[in-house]
């Protein structure tokens, strides 16, 4: 497959992941929060969260596969010992943190599990537990940091 197609898939996966996280955090959750609690808002947030979780993890796997391909292809492997390689390691370090935080959010806290419907609402959000909300914000910050380092990487 041509390199430009691999880059395109890598970028599309990054857009799907970061765009979806930001939509959830800055559009869906605030709208649900400002909707009367007797509405179906909580259920819509929960079902959207579950659906997006699949998209997010597929995007992460695609990012790892296409990123590894770019890393190991001829010019990439040859540059591993250079400044480019060091910046790439920084990018991977930030990515691992984002990955770990999302893992905790999705599979340990699991705010969109069916049982959480019956959980008492938190003070900051009637639809998503406060811890999960904070964790999702942290994932957004980390993925944006990865994006920043990636933009720099593309320049050097």
Residues engaged in binding ligand HEM (CB under 6 A)? 7, 10-11, 14, 17, 63-64, 67-68, 70-71, 76, 88, 92, 95, 143, 146-147, 150-151, 153-154
Residue number, 44 or 64, with CB nearest to ligand HEM: 64
3-state secondary structure 58-109: HHHHHHHHHHHHHHHCHHHHHCCCCHHHHHHHHHHHHHHHHHHHHHHHHHHH
User: Distance between CA atoms of 6 and 117, rounded to whole angstroms?
Assistant: 40
Nearest approach, Cβ of residue 143 and ligand HEM (Å): 4
Question: Residue 3 or residue 43: which is nearer to ligand HEM going by CB?
Answer: 3
Nearest residue to ligand HEM on Cβ basis: 67
CB of 29 to ligand HEM, least distance (A): 21
């Amino acid at each position: 497959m041509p390199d430009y197609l691999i880059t395109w898939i890598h970028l599309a996966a990054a857009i799907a992941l970061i765009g979806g996280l930001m939509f959830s955090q800055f559009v869906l959750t605030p709208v649900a929060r400002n909707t009367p609690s007797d509405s179906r808002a909580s259920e819509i947030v929960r079902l959207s969260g579950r659906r997006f979780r699949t998209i997010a993890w597929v995007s992460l796997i695609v990012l790892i596969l296409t990123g590894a391909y770019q890393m190991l292809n001829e010019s990439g492997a040859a540059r591993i010992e250079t400044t480019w390689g060091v910046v790439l390691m920084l990018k991977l370090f930030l990515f691992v943190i984002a990955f770990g935080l999302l893992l905790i959010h999705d599979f340990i806290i699991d705010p969109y599990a069916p049982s959480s419907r019956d959980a008492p609402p938190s003070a900051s959000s009637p639809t998503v537990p406060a811890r999960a909300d904070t964790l999702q914000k942290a994932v957004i910050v980390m993925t944006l940091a990865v994006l920043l380092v990636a933009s720099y990487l593309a320049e050097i």
